[in-house]
């Protein structure tokens, strides 16, 4: 079984966290969810300096962090950048 390439630190009490998880489930993105407020998660949260939720880490194949988004605004910006890059690669932005 492959390791999840996305790690999401959130909280069951965070409405934005729930929406992000719902979105990832809807489009089938495999991810690891960590409840940042749970006592058993404090060690990993301390390791990565998690202090704002949601906090999303995109991982390399070896498990190292490729990039991170903290908060919904930063995530939305990053997702827009990715969509734009993919659209350009596919030639979807070209005018005819």
- State the chain's maximal CA–CA distance in angstroms: 57
Q: Does 15 score more than 70 pLDDT?
A: yes
Q: Does 72 score more than 80 pLDDT?
A: yes
Domain 6-71 is found in CATH 3.40.30.10: yes
Beta bridge pairs of residue 69: 56
Residue 24's pLDDT is: 87
The proportion of the chain whose per-residue pLDDT surpasses 90, expressed as a percent, equals 47
Could you tell me which residues come within 8 angstroms of residue 39 by beta carbon, excluding any fewer than 6 positions away?
none
Beta strand segments in the chain, E: 6-10, 32-35, 55-59, 65-70
What tens digit of pLDDT does each residue of 20-46 get?
899 889 988 889 999 999 999 999 999
Confidence category of residue 53, pLDDT binned at 50, 70, 90: very high
Classify strands 6-10 and 32-35 as parallel, antiparallel or unpaired. parallel
């Amino acid at each position: 079984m492959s390791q999840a390439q996305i790690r999401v630190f959130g909280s069951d009490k965070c409405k934005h966290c729930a929406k992000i998880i719902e979105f990832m489930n809807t489009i089938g993105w495999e991810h690891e969810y960590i409840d940042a407020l749970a006592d058993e998660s404090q060690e990993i949260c301390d390791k990565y300096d998690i202090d704002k939720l949601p906090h999303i880490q995109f991982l390399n194949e070896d498990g190292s962090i490729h990039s991170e988004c903290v908060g919904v605004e930063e995530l939305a910006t990053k997702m827009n950048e990715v969509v734009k890059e993919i659209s350009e690669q596919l030639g979807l932005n070209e005018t005819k």
